[in-house]
Chains A and B, each alone.
Chain A
């Protein structure tokens, strides 16, 4: 890398040019970043999906699953048992499931678990039922998981899973074990099962050890169809996992191919692909853009509610959820048997594998089921969006140095002292900002102890967090107003600004690899505001900047975003008060949800917002509210 000074000590010419045109360049780069993001969705700039793993041989074999009667019988019996035993409460009939699985010939077991969740009084208890089908001619070193959650409207899926299990038991071509898991309390049960399977204890989840194992899990397919709507017409393929992880693209492509083989329409986020001839048209473009946007948001705020597959990521298992829906037109296709054949094709393909999924992409987003944008294509967007932040930091730092040098006559010593003092003086502010973030992060854990009998409900938890989050920003303001100005002169604010900008760039850059969704959203909304945040002298500038920063406060931004989303998606134009109330309720849900996710599913979103983003926000807030004389 070229040094920023020439041999005579002066900066190179291009640097001077950069500093002169800094603002224009920053604006240009930001706009270029936005245009870049818009462009990569256009089909000419991305590629058609393909299979990287030769061993998969997807769709080559004729599917043999034809057990319509068996599926219907299982579903009907299950419904009867649930109705007679539990009535409207739809409790899970564990012993009936165990009995059925044993009659099929599988090793069936139950696993109890207890979860302690904030916002829910008392413990959540449940029992998972799982059955292992051993491969007859292969050593049991690898396995494939088929998971179905127990819910009032997944009884049909459970019936299908049972008849699929009976079909698979009769086949001789398995090289891996098949494990059928029926979870209670959906993803909580799945997480309990997985943590026990991989022997990784989770503090808020007490899961009994499993009685049987099946080796390393190569892939997991979760089935979640709502009842009463066969024949189906579409299959929604959900692939977003916690912490923005994504399964290998080969697995997603495999299920897309299997869906199309059964003459069903695969969708992502319930959005259908643009038709063939519409792909390069404007109409097609908006469809692709909508799916991409949903993909980015889903990856950014990935929760566990999209399906059972979402918790597999932490264990390095590639998993996808199939969700058939829609009203099929003909009775001959789209029934349970076709979904069964879809799963059978997927299982047989994964059965052909010799190694873990490793050939295809792990970092991508999908504008449609047949097009993908890989990390090499979308990463420059982060560079373009964060470029302004880095350039601004560089220019501000150089300006600071120049200022120090230019007034170097007579007052040199005094100035130098001030500069180093101001640089050090900023340190307490930085420490305060980060400790505020840390306080916010540890607050739920302090309030909620897994072993304690005191439990909080949603509202109390949120109130505690919101209070702290809103009162904390007052601290630096108070500190500044009370202490003498000479300790926090303008140069120190500049140093703080450089530190904040660099930290923002670092956080976003690092997060961009792990969770591109959240990084790009932060880059789009936070980067421009952060670049122009300065200790304004004029009242108007100060007011505008403060307002912008207030909007960017994590809680406020959440509220506003949810409000906008609700306003866009609700069919009837809402009244402002109703909208505000709904947005507030959703913010509570989301915040508590993030905390719960971090406790149960080891999601890092809450930590990201409190430990990473909030301190940066605090530093910018301090800069804006600096009063100089």
Chain B
């Protein structure tokens, strides 16, 4: 609707024959995104068969995020228990999120990075802050930089100020806020979107104090988040309300090329559907959520900008191929001065 108004205005301006102005108007409706890569951290913190729905939540979001372009190498998924191969699963090897649709969320294309008892508070914070042992494989590292947009999705059982991990320990909102601040200090994110889908989840983002963080939760403090429906052939609650409705929004309305805004995502589960009130924390986020694309966080979409202006490159940016080869020959003459073509220091982690 807004888009059509803009296009109409653009066409009206286009009568002057300035195409770039039209493009600029459309592009300028959305705030400038300064990120170059997207990462997603999807965490399911609860184990046991009766918490099937938390694993289904995470896997549903995993598929959405993958569909919108984030590759497996940039998704860290933590599942605290093995639902597909649980002895109680009457459909072994599968996880469903909908009693009618029968879409199996689990399969050979699903890459779980932290599984079972590896999902602990310590591992989660080490992942965020990057302080992992040197033997940790790349698939378990969050290799973000100052131009990464990071999506963090936490689901499980929670309470006022904490999230329960594995029925044995808890992460407090203070721990989370400090970890995010460490990330900011180390330039490990450009913008961050934190989603908490637990009971009283608004408390999880209350203590955040780092810039460029947008946060949302499925319920306010004092409210419980509710599950959506039971799959009577499996015998468990299969998905939570918040994830069900936001997923519906993501699956039906968001494509890599659409321009759905974050405000629409945040409004996608109103109180009459979610029953609990969705909480939003946007005071640390400098942009207007109505002018930020959903795909800025949920997908890896490259916005190609066409340049019609002339760009003059400085002299020392261009290396003459001949002069480069000459330099190399001179270098090989003196063996003491050996250097590699790509003399890049290894990235210190």
Chain A: residues with CB nearer than 8 A to chain B? Answer: 54-55, 57, 60-62, 135, 137-138, 171-175, 348, 351-352, 354
Contact = CB atoms under 8 A, between A and B. Distances in A.
Interface in B47-88: 48-50, 85-88
The 10 closest A-B pairs by CB, nearest first: A61-B235, A138-B87, A175-B87, A173-B90, A137-B87, A62-B232, A60-B235, A55-B50, A175-B88, A60-B230
Given A60-B230, A61-B232, A61-B235, A172 B90 contact: yes
Contacts of B235: 57, 60-62, 348, 352
B112 to A, nearest CB: 19
B89 interface: yes
Interface of B: 48-50, 85-90, 92, 230, 232-237
B87 A173 contact: yes
Contacts of A135: 87
A14 to B, nearest CB: 45
B233 A62 contact: yes
A348 B233 CA distance: 12
Given A137-B85, A172-B92, 10 more contacts: A57-B235, A60-B236, A61-B235, A62-B233, A137-B92, A173-B87, A173-B90, A174-B87, A175-B88, A354-B48
Nearest to B52: A57
Nearest to B47: A354
Contacts of B233: 61-62
A284 to B, nearest CB: 33
24 contacts: A54-B50, A55-B48, A57-B50, A57-B235, A60-B230, A60-B232, A60-B236, A60-B237, A61-B233, A61-B234, A62-B233, A62-B235, A135-B87, A137-B92, A138-B87, A174-B88, A175-B86, A175-B88, A351-B88, A352-B49, A352-B50, A352-B235, A354-B48, A354-B49
Contacts of B237: 60
Contacts of B234: 61
Contacts, number: 44
A352 B85 CA distance: 14
Describe A's contact surface by its main secondary structure: loop
Interface of B is mostly: loop
Contacts of B85: 137
A597 B213 CA distance: 70
A173 B88 contact: yes
Given A54-B50, A55-B49, A55-B50, A173 B89 contact: yes
A53 to B, nearest CB: 9
Contacts of A138: 87
Contacts of A174: 87-88
Nearest to B49: A352
Nearest to B86: A175
Contacts of A60: 230, 232, 235-237
Nearest to A138: B87
A353 to B, nearest CB: 9
A77 to B, nearest CB: 31
A258 to B, nearest CB: 13
A57 B230 CA distance: 10
B157 to A, nearest CB: 10
A60 B90 CA distance: 14
A172 B86 CA distance: 11
A354 B87 CA distance: 11
A477 B87 CA distance: 70
A112 B220 CA distance: 63
A584 to B, nearest CB: 55
B103 to A, nearest CB: 20
A351 B90 CA distance: 12
A60 B99 CA distance: 13
A62 B90 CA distance: 12
Contacts of B232: 60-62
Contacts of A172: 90, 92
Contacts of B87: 135, 137-138, 173-175
Contacts of A348: 235
A351 B88 CA distance: 7
Nearest to A54: B50
Nearest to A61: B235
B106 to A, nearest CB: 16
A171 B90 contact: yes
A627 B50 CA distance: 72
A61 B49 CA distance: 13
A173 B90 CA distance: 5
Which interface residue of B48, B50, B232, B234 has the most chain A CB atoms within 10 A? Answer: B50
A55 B236 CA distance: 10
Contacts of A354: 48-49
Contacts of A61: 232-235
A55 B47 CA distance: 11
A54 B90 CA distance: 19
Contacts of B86: 175
Nearest to A55: B50
B236 A57 contact: yes
Contacts of B236: 57, 60
> A135, A138, A174, A352 — which one has the most chain B CB atoms within 10 A of its CB?
A352
Nearest to A345: B235
B56 to A, nearest CB: 15
A174 B90 CA distance: 9
A62 B236 CA distance: 11
A351 B92 CA distance: 16
Contacts of B88: 173-175, 351-352
Contacts of A171: 90
A354 to B, nearest CB: 6
Nearest to B157: A54
A135 B86 CA distance: 12
A135 B235 CA distance: 18
A174 B235 CA distance: 13
A354 B88 CA distance: 11
B323 to A, nearest CB: 68
B236 to A, nearest CB: 6
A76 B182 CA distance: 74
Contacts of A55: 48-50
A167 to B, nearest CB: 14
Nearest to B230: A60
A212 B228 CA distance: 43
Nearest to A135: B87
A174 B88 CA distance: 6
B209 to A, nearest CB: 35
B328 to A, nearest CB: 63
Interface centre among B85, B87, B230, B233, by most chain A C-beta atoms within 10 angstroms, is B87
A455 B86 CA distance: 56
A60 B230 CA distance: 7
A488 B236 CA distance: 74
Contacts of B89: 173
Contacts of B92: 137, 172
A219 to B, nearest CB: 15
A322 B147 CA distance: 65
Contacts of A62: 232-233, 235
A30 to B, nearest CB: 46
A174 B232 CA distance: 17
Nearest to A137: B87
A137 B89 CA distance: 10
A62 B234 CA distance: 8
A126 B89 CA distance: 40
A170 B225 CA distance: 37
A171 B48 CA distance: 20
B141 to A, nearest CB: 32
B240 to A, nearest CB: 15
A61 B89 CA distance: 12
A175 B49 CA distance: 11
Contacts of A351: 88
Contacts of B90: 171-173
B231 to A, nearest CB: 9
Nearest to A173: B90
Question: Could you say which of A62, A173, A174, A351 has the most chain B C-beta atoms within 10 Å of its C-beta?
Answer: A173
A549 to B, nearest CB: 57
B93 to A, nearest CB: 11
